[in-house]
Structures are given as C-alpha cells and as structure tokens.
Amino acid sequence: MTVTQENAEALAARIVRARARLAEAAATADLRGIAASLDDLEHAYGQARELGVEIARPSTDREETRP
C-alpha cells in the first residue's frame, strides 16, 4: 500500500485524538476509557510502523522544564 500525505496526516491525527482521550480518561480514573484509548493507540501505532509513517512524540510540561 502506498502511503499518501493525506493518509499519514489522518493516521497522525488519530493518534493525537487517542492520546487526548487517554489523558482525559487517566485524569478521571476512567478504567474503560483508559483501556479503549490504549487499544486505539496500539492499533494506530502498529499501522504507522507497518506503513513507515513517523509519528512525533508528544511534548509534555516535564520535558519542557528539564535542564
């Protein structure tokens, strides 16, 4: 399968959404939400690996404040 820029962007957007859902679920201790978000992330990251799409790491406050 040939990866188009549009497909790569859609996959990256899916990962960003899943990361946001995971953060929200973790903040509210929603165990089902955490499990579903992790499943979605694993699947999306697997697709990215298979297709050779590089996904940027999310920035966090911790990383930004490191010396």
- pLDDT, position 62: 58
Query: Which pLDDT belongs to residue 66?
Result: 45
Q: Give the per-residue SS3 of 16-66.
A: HHHHHHHHHHHHCCCHHHHHHHHHHHHHHHHHHHHHCCCCCCCCCHHHHCC
Q: Is the pLDDT of residue 63 over 90?
A: no
Domain ranges of the chain: 5-52
> pLDDT tens digits for 2-49?
678 888 899 999 999 999 999 999 999 999 999 999 999 999 999 999
Q: What is the pLDDT of residues 47-57, one digit of tens each?
A: 999 988 888 88
What is the per-residue pLDDT for 61? 63
